Amino acid sequence: MSFRRSLDQREFIAGAAFLLFGISFSLIALHYPLGTAMRMGPGYFPVLLGLILSCIGVLIGISALRRRPIDDAPTTGAPFTWSSLRPALLISASVLLFAVAIESVGLALATFGVVAVSSLANRESRWPAVLASGIALSAMSVGIFAYGLRLPFRVTPF
């Protein structure tokens, strides 16, 4: 049986978007002090997340090339629409928000902002659950990173 490659356009575009946003976030976050692994600066985590996002984008892009038998009927996926990128764009925007906001509003509000913006990616999310998750994750982030690890993050804007 012979095989041929086909390109899943939706996956390829999603992978390209992840790669583009990951690289962009990393480049923006490089303007903040990185610190070291033991004494992380405000840019360390956003750079790391941007690089991880970029790697995920490469993996998704590679998986868009599929090998399938020639005699198989082509798979019918939903056509590409810009709204199909909505979740990836909102998650990426939440990481960018964190990178931009952490120095000005502090770790607690930046973390809450990430939860709030990324929850918009799921149309079924409910605001009471988002509020509870945001408060819990903000408290855990402050407890772990600011007090437990004593990283030099501003906790609140006050």
Domain assignment present for 154: no
Q: Tell me the torsion sign for CA atoms 120, 133, 99, 54.
A: negative
Tell me how far apart the alpha carbons of residues 19 and 16 are, in angstroms, rounded to a whole number: 5
Tell me how far apart the alpha carbons of residues 99 and 30 are, in angstroms, rounded to a whole number: 10
Domain assignment present for 153: no
Domain assignment present for 94: yes
Q: What is the pLDDT of residues 86-114, one digit of tens each?
A: 888 888 889 888 888 888 899 999 999 99
What is the pTM for the complete model shown? 0.54
Tell me how far apart the alpha carbons of residues 127 and 148 are, in angstroms, rounded to a whole number: 29
Domain assignment present for 112: yes
**Count of domains for the chain:** 1
Q: What is the pLDDT of residues 27-37, one digit of tens each?
A: 988 888 888 87
Q: What is the pLDDT of residues 140-155, one digit of tens each?
A: 999 988 888 888 888 8
Q: How many residues does the chain have?
A: 158
Q: Which domain holds residue 101?
A: 3-148
Angstrom CA distances, 157 to 22, 102, 116, 137, 147, stand at 27, 9, 18, 18, 16
